[in-house]
Structure 1
């Protein structure tokens, strides 16, 4: 057995984009790999055929998604031709689509559109629905001459010297400035090269679901000019007349999903009246006119995968309607699984294994998932009667003969609430030695830690650290009441973490209680900032993409103006004192812990000013501190940042703990 090294994760393969063929006999998916030398990711399409054979379909390293045209042909966007690459590099709005015949492996250039397309759906006869970005500064890029388009591109280059803001949010993490930019729905007739916008320039289309046999489509939309609302609407599109009708069954509502279940509409959403924006959703049924509805199921848990890991890349599906069922991923406890529900309202769990379902697709009796299981990395599985059959072995050799630490569960109570945490012993643990330890706090707060592979924690264990982590109150997986810490940030959650730390130190006497560090990102960064201002028990801290000041967060984060009010039950005007009471910056004069701050310059979720404020406060008060800023990165540095940046981040954190905990 050999020790796990920092760089090992650059050899991992990440799977996403799972899509079963119309007959369910084949599956296409995307495999992503890191190119550390060139500091980027490669993405290519792969096929699993009915015989179980895996075949690589593309090799240009830039194909991330595809749709099925029939059982033997795919359509995918790419920039594999030089003229397309050149125009994309010149900032032309452009998406070029290619057709791949699976039997012959012939690839042909099918059509292109002067739009940056994020999703395409085939309607037949050369007609497609497109979701694409629209920038009001550039205006219409379709139905104009080549010369007119080139002039628009040149004019926008000059305009990009300025940012004119007249709405909130005006930027979005991972997207940059988004002022007056929307995702619009378009109809493409590729036979006539004709593009028709179906939604207006102020409306974002958040979800699109088709029912071709009914000739209809469902859209979840949000429309705004000055301030984006937390609510959205449900619209129905008639595919023959292209008429768009608002049919929102419930007003003042946040729709997560809507699709056709037989001749009914099934929708998932939340009113936010009882538990705010983190309220768990319910499942409803309505006729297609949307005039009345019934609750199909009163879910007790959320409808997304909230299990944390730093070994994913690419997007995964959360919902799908197939035949008589709505399928969805949900997190219960510390695992996410695939569920389905029919018109009878009976909820059925489709997967039984502990871990994380990262993506899925269903065609009739064929059920496929991409999942993290035990301490294995992502692989593709088929599912039947809850039994899982592993179909791929992309990562079999990645961790072969590596020393891994199995998380040991610790269940305990605080304030009569049951809580769960885990402890990882150092690799090669020796009962006669004492070791330093690291408390790792997850983001969210409404996410969870589980038992899946987490590279940074396994690496620290291989460096001779105990690593311990838990799901305090505020986490997902245990219902609304458990997740609800509105107005309580830094109180009951802090108490849970400290009680857990005490129990870990009491249960594992080989931990040197004078050499314990703490780290976390996002909400975990907030809690790290909070902890060092309320106790000196930790000898080193690393605060990542954190929040320091709820007032500045309110005015700068892409979610600040609604997240701050909802989670703190206060604004800077109606209760500034409460925001300050829950801001770690208030307690910075009490910090003595050497602290490293990690922040990305394009993190618009927890903007750079949060890290800078806390760092400045510690320096002002003479506390050992260091701030490392990553250029060109956003809030997702640890999950999807450039390979070299992810390595540098882990190196900085590890060396900080090595310096102060050894």
Structure 2
């Protein structure tokens, strides 16, 4: 750690530029990307940038205080369609790549998103939230005042609920709108609604001949009780829909091969419920035959890395090469993500993997561009050369990185109680001195089926900057170590996952004599919040704890979480009516009398994933027992507070966490 630079602060979160969604031009000579920052109004703004591969200087294409994202090049590379909130709602806009002002394409009442060109450039398909009787030919965008009045009127009316799946942490309470696919004819400038079923339709791709649309949806009669997501083909001429998958799994990230003869996609059939690894499938569009290319692999396909600064989407694959013999995709393995290549025989090859986080990529005309984050660099774009080496294209956050000292993680591998190998990382504190003792914080990730690893994580770096040794690990249940490992915590929450974490602490205390064993802290969010609650109810070795967006009572979680009705069964093996005693035994609240560790509870008031009543129960019980506890509530914040909440709320959260440890450690 470079102590000639200043230590990181929570407020530095405001100064980090986050890159995402690289998209190569059709000829592969240049690319666009999205840059997201926090503006002076405490709001996120996203701008489109363009860069020729022969030049180091990107060109900014959009400048307004809005979110501009999801760019898509026309086949001839002369235009870009993108979505922007500059008019108030996400709408589609078009701009010429040789300059000029952007032109608004849609004025849909509830917005329009995710545009994609047909291969002949004659039409665009996009997504739009529509009610049953909406007419796409006469859509009119409401003014800000009209939207505000409509929102006020909505809050004066009761909400009638008659579905099992009726709310989402991301979207709140569902209404009568469904995501439908709409076609925009470039020449005629007309709109045509393609899908109408009473479900959400997720656009995937357009066939090379322009005759079919590929989408995912659950069109089953019992969709409200199922989590399946099938692949479908929609024929633009006949208006017929053809089902490609068997109705037993979840599929997505689907793409036609260049000739249209095949489709590649990720998916699985819930063999291990929510802990199931993705597979890579290839579907023959003529015969309907489905081939699994990944049946001999034991890695997670896609990006399972967890962090707190990744704003914006990016492609993780699969993407075809031009001759249809190879597919590219991102894979998650041993604390890192890399770029992989596979042929149609299933022969796997690592194109690029290092101690970092490949968060997205784009491929065209033999050119590969990767978006990469490291523990000490939030993001940059690189061209992957034929020799496997990288050429850096951008210099994001140059001023921030030249001013702030960040801690380089030390990778650890240790044995759990039963001999399983567990991976983790340790950050030394700012201004570290040999011979000096430092307080310690154990961080526990959420999921539980996610992965800590080699990426930038502001919260972890902040604690190191505040003078703590920070340990973060991937106990069993984490992605990155194969199917058996990620499945191993199911029906055993608070069992060997807990002892894995305690083994990590024991190992760190044994190996690093600069850790003060009398000043240990612990924190985590979501599943990590559950585990923090569990830990303070089962050991008093920690002198301070912070539980974030936690779970305390599985009996109530079943009925209040947006995922509780299936997640409880998936992870604990039982639903509420199956075995309430078992759920209570898994609940940290049961062990509240044992808690002697000062506990800070932080939670977003609009969290529908782990609703705030979970924290309310924990707080009230501990306070009633006269324990040392404090409760910080964040108005308007949902489960994503730490990652994409209001910037000032995110900073306040970080300062509360650091302040609690400062008080007790």
- TM (norm. structure 1) is 0.92
1:543 aligns to what SS in structure 2?
strand
1:400 aligns to what SS in structure 2?
helix
Report Cα offsets for 1:519-543 as digits up to 9, x if no partner: 0011111100110111111111000
Looking at structure 2, the residues matched to 79 and 306 of structure 1 have their Cα atoms a distance apart, in angstroms, of 29
Looking at structure 2, the residues matched to 4 and 530 of structure 1 have their Cα atoms a distance apart, in angstroms, of 31
Looking at structure 1, the residues matched to 486 and 502 of structure 2 have their Cα atoms a distance apart, in angstroms, of 18
Q: Does 1:202 align with 2:203?
A: no
Q: Does 1:142 align with 2:136?
A: yes
Report Cα offsets for 1:245-264 as digits up to 9, x if no partner: 2222x331221333323412
Structure 1 alignment gaps of length 5 or more: 89-94
Shift of 1:497: 0.3
1:447 aligned to which of 447, 450, 473: 450
Aligned to 1:360: 361
Aligned to 1:418: 421
2:567 aligns to what SS in structure 1?
helix
Shift of 1:442: 0.8
Q: Does 1:509 align with 2:513?
A: yes
The 3 A distance-change label for structure 1 pair 31 and 499 is same
Aligned to 2:389: 387
Q: Does 1:186 align with 2:182?
A: yes
Contact 2:13/2:651 (8 A) holds in 1: no
2:603 aligns to what SS in structure 1?
strand
The 3 A distance-change label for structure 1 pair 611 and 290 is farther
Range moving further from structure 2, 332-341 or 208-217: 208-217
Contact 1:169/1:179 (8 A) holds in 2: no
Contact 2:106/2:112 (8 A) holds in 1: no
Aligned to 1:648: 652
Contact 2:279/2:301 (8 A) holds in 1: no
Q: Does 1:119 align with 2:114?
A: yes
Aligned to 1:565: 569
Looking at structure 2, the residues matched to 49 and 203 of structure 1 have their Cα atoms a distance apart, in angstroms, of 41
Aligned to 2:214: 218
Aligned to 1:400: 402
Q: What does 1:152-167 align with in structure 2 at a 5 Å threshold?
A: 158-161=153-156, 162-167=158-163
Shift of 1:212: 2.4
Aligned to 1:72: 78
1:430 aligned to which of 424, 433, 443: 433
Looking at structure 2, the residues matched to 295 and 105 of structure 1 have their Cα atoms a distance apart, in angstroms, of 46
The 3 A distance-change label for structure 1 pair 573 and 182 is same
Range moving further from structure 2, 440-449 or 277-286: 277-286
2:500 aligns to what SS in structure 1?
helix
Contact 1:114/1:142 (8 A) holds in 2: no
Shift of 1:193: 4.8
Shift of 1:563: 0.9
Aligned to 1:40: 43
2:538 aligned to which of 495, 519, 534: 534
Contact 1:16/1:30 (8 A) holds in 2: yes
Looking at structure 2, the residues matched to 632 and 555 of structure 1 have their Cα atoms a distance apart, in angstroms, of 21
The 3 A distance-change label for structure 1 pair 400 and 252 is same
Shift of 1:179: 4.1
Contact 1:29/1:47 (8 A) holds in 2: yes
Aligned to 2:266: 268
Looking at structure 2, the residues matched to 582 and 297 of structure 1 have their Cα atoms a distance apart, in angstroms, of 35
Aligned to 2:476: 473
Aligned to 1:637: 641
Shift of 1:417: 0.8
The 3 A distance-change label for structure 1 pair 110 and 266 is closer
Aligned to 2:54: 51
2:558 aligned to which of 540, 554, 576: 554
2:69 aligns to what SS in structure 1?
coil
Looking at structure 1, the residues matched to 279 and 140 of structure 2 have their Cα atoms a distance apart, in angstroms, of 49
The 3 A distance-change label for structure 1 pair 152 and 449 is closer
Looking at structure 1, the residues matched to 137 and 97 of structure 2 have their Cα atoms a distance apart, in angstroms, of 33
Shift of 1:398: 1.1
Report Cα offsets for 1:188-227 as digits up to 9, x if no partner: 3355454332222422223412222263232111236772
Shift of 1:145: 7.8
Looking at structure 2, the residues matched to 371 and 580 of structure 1 have their Cα atoms a distance apart, in angstroms, of 43
Looking at structure 1, the residues matched to 623 and 502 of structure 2 have their Cα atoms a distance apart, in angstroms, of 26
Shift of 1:411: 1.0
Aligned to 1:92: none
Q: How many residues align?
A: 645
Report Cα offsets for 1:541-566 as digits up to 9, x if no partner: 00001111112111111111111111
Shift of 1:315: 1.4
Q: What does 1:480-629 align with in structure 2 at a 5 Å threshold?
A: 480-484=483-487, 485-629=489-633
Aligned to 1:232: 229
Aligned to 1:91: none
Contact 2:83/2:92 (8 A) holds in 1: yes
Shift of 1:429: 1.3
Contact 2:440/2:468 (8 A) holds in 1: yes
Looking at structure 1, the residues matched to 281 and 426 of structure 2 have their Cα atoms a distance apart, in angstroms, of 40
Aligned to 1:316: 314
Aligned to 1:370: 371
Structure 2 alignment gaps of length 5 or more: none
Range moving further from structure 2, 161-170 or 331-340: 161-170
Shift of 1:66: 1.6
1:242 aligned to which of 239, 244, 262: 239
Aligned-CA RMSD value: 2.4
Shift of 1:321: 2.5
The 3 A distance-change label for structure 1 pair 290 and 165 is farther
Shift of 1:228: 4.3
Shift of 1:141: 4.7
Shift of 1:101: 2.0
Report Cα offsets for 1:49-108 as digits up to 9, x if no partner: 14223101111032123211232321223354xxx44xx5xxxxxx54332222234433
Looking at structure 2, the residues matched to 170 and 144 of structure 1 have their Cα atoms a distance apart, in angstroms, of 29
Contact 1:436/1:466 (8 A) holds in 2: yes
The 3 A distance-change label for structure 1 pair 148 and 270 is closer
Q: Does 1:102 align with 2:97?
A: yes
- TM (norm. structure 2) is 0.92
The 3 A distance-change label for structure 1 pair 246 and 609 is same
Looking at structure 1, the residues matched to 114 and 496 of structure 2 have their Cα atoms a distance apart, in angstroms, of 42
Shift of 1:176: 1.2
Contact 2:204/2:252 (8 A) holds in 1: no
Range moving further from structure 2, 301-310 or 583-592: 301-310
Contact 1:167/1:225 (8 A) holds in 2: no
Contact 2:22/2:360 (8 A) holds in 1: yes
Range moving further from structure 2, 112-121 or 471-480: 112-121
Report Cα offsets for 1:317-337 as digits up to 9, x if no partner: 222423223322210110011
The 3 A distance-change label for structure 1 pair 153 and 404 is closer
